[in-house]
Amino acid sequence: MNDGQTLEVVVTAIEQVTPLIKHFTLAPAAGGSLPAFSGGSHVIVVMRGASRVFRNPYSLLSAPQNLDTYEIAVRRMEESRGGSHYMHDQVKVGSRIEIAHPVNLFALDKIARKHVMLAGGIGITPFLAQLEDLHGGAVPYELHYSVRSPEHAAFLSRLRARHGDGRVRLYYDSAGQMIDFEGLLSAQPLGTHLYVCGPAGFIGRAVDTARACGWPGSHIHWEQFAAPPTGDAFEVFLARAGRSVQVPPDQTLLEAIEAAGVDVPYLCRGGVCGFCQTRVVECDGELLHHDHFLSDADKARGKSIMPCVSRARGARVVLDL
């Protein structure tokens, strides 16, 4: 994917829904309808800052049946490399921004007999659209939503209005309430699928518990929202383009390559989809793999890197680009 495939949208509303989260409504700049999507989809938002372009993935949280507008929510990240601050500080009602077409890497399983969803914080966003897909259907579902405290429970009134009747359960850290992963995951009917979205630790605990309870891998789905890690500056050489690229500490390898005018395909920009996989021609240092796509054996072999999240260290790293 590259920016030739983006859509221009206008920000028609912005709402501060928690102390850290802003909710944006986007309408097509050219009028008409937006492309169809299903619950769990995300879009990449292209943010052209003064000195740098950011491309961050955000889940679509609006109802997939409504293609007049899209809705996304952005959490201000303290450790932001710039993208979330750009959305919070630069984008106003009336701003025009570019987004890529929706992609779904966190889709509901179509033959599940039940859906159990676990959300941590901003990880609620993909579930809002998924719940719209499920609402009124025959397949049972339940959502367990864990937040720091009541003021951080984004979209709670929307959830309660639409999916009351005990299907949505809230857990407040401030009140010492925790999701009982083991109790919940050891007592689900056969054919149930699990979906988890939130911080890495939350996902790790849920997925590890599901595996320990005997859930098959094919029934466990998760999506992580984490900024790509920063690290030391390094330099790579792009063999086919014949040029060196400097990667600063707060820029990803993918962003640095794009800034040098070389396109790399991508979908998730989060180390999950595998689209940006790039062959490593030579490396006399260390590859710092942060993705969830390559196997441990692949990582040890050192012949591939996912530049959306991974970095390198060493005197000479040559990529097949």
Nearer to ligand FES, 9 or 103 (CB): 103
Of 17-25, 119-127, 169-177, 269-277: span binding ligand FES (CB under 6 A): 269-277
Minimum separation from the CB atom of position 42 to ligand FES (A): 11
Count CB atoms within 10 A of the CB of residue 89. 9
Could you tell me which of 65, 56, 66 has the C-alpha nearest to residue 26?
66
- Residue 272 is a binding residue for ligand FES (CB under 6 A): yes
Minimum separation from the CB atom of position 183 to ligand FES (A): 34
Of 22-30, 74-82, 242-250, 270-278: span binding ligand FES (CB under 6 A): 270-278
Nearer to ligand FES, 185 or 267 (CB): 267
Q: Is-contact 63 132, C-beta < 8 A?
A: yes
Q: How far apart are CA 75 and CA 87, in angstroms?
A: 9
Sequence-separated (6 or more) residues with CB below 8 Å from residue 62: 25, 69, 70, 71, 128, 129, 132
Length of the chain: 321
- Residue 147 is a binding residue for ligand FES (CB under 6 A): no
Backbone angles phi, psi at 89, to 5 degrees: -105, -30
Which residue shows structure tokens 């690290």? 231
- Residue 266 is a binding residue for ligand FES (CB under 6 A): yes
Which residue shows structure tokens 């919940």? 184
Q: How far apart are CA 7 and CA 43, in angstroms?
A: 10
- Residue 102 is a binding residue for ligand FES (CB under 6 A): no
Nearer to ligand FES, 127 or 293 (CB): 293
Q: How far apart are CA 249 and CA 269, in angstroms?
A: 17
Nearer to ligand FES, 144 or 269 (CB): 269
Count CB atoms within 10 A of the CB of residue 306. 30
The site for ligand FES, by CB under 6 A, has a size of: 14
Could you tell me which of 231, 238, 241 has the C-alpha nearest to residue 287?
231
Q: How far apart are CA 151 and CA 223, in angstroms?
A: 24
Sequence-separated (6 or more) residues with CB below 8 Å from residue 183: none
Q: Is-contact 119 93, C-beta < 8 A?
A: no
Residues of span 289-308 touching ligand FES by CB under 6 A: 291, 293, 306, 308
- Residue 229 is a binding residue for ligand FES (CB under 6 A): no
- Residue 134 is a binding residue for ligand FES (CB under 6 A): no
Nearer to ligand FES, 121 or 271 (CB): 271
- Residue 256 is a binding residue for ligand FES (CB under 6 A): no
- Residue 276 is a binding residue for ligand FES (CB under 6 A): yes
Of 16-24, 79-87, 216-224, 260-268: span binding ligand FES (CB under 6 A): 260-268
- Residue 283 is a binding residue for ligand FES (CB under 6 A): no
- Residue 268 is a binding residue for ligand FES (CB under 6 A): yes
Q: How far apart are CA 280 and CA 304, in angstroms?
A: 5
Under DSSP, is residue 272 helix (H, G, I), strand (E, B) or coil?
Answer: coil
Minimum separation from the CB atom of position 224 to ligand FES (A): 12
* CA–centroid distance for 278 within its chain: 21
Of 110-118, 176-184, 190-198, 266-274: span binding ligand FES (CB under 6 A): 266-274
Minimum separation from the CB atom of position 173 to ligand FES (A): 31
- Residue 273 is a binding residue for ligand FES (CB under 6 A): yes
Nearer to ligand FES, 193 or 269 (CB): 269
- Residue numbers at the binding site for ligand FES (CB under 6 A): 266-269, 271-276, 291, 293, 306, 308
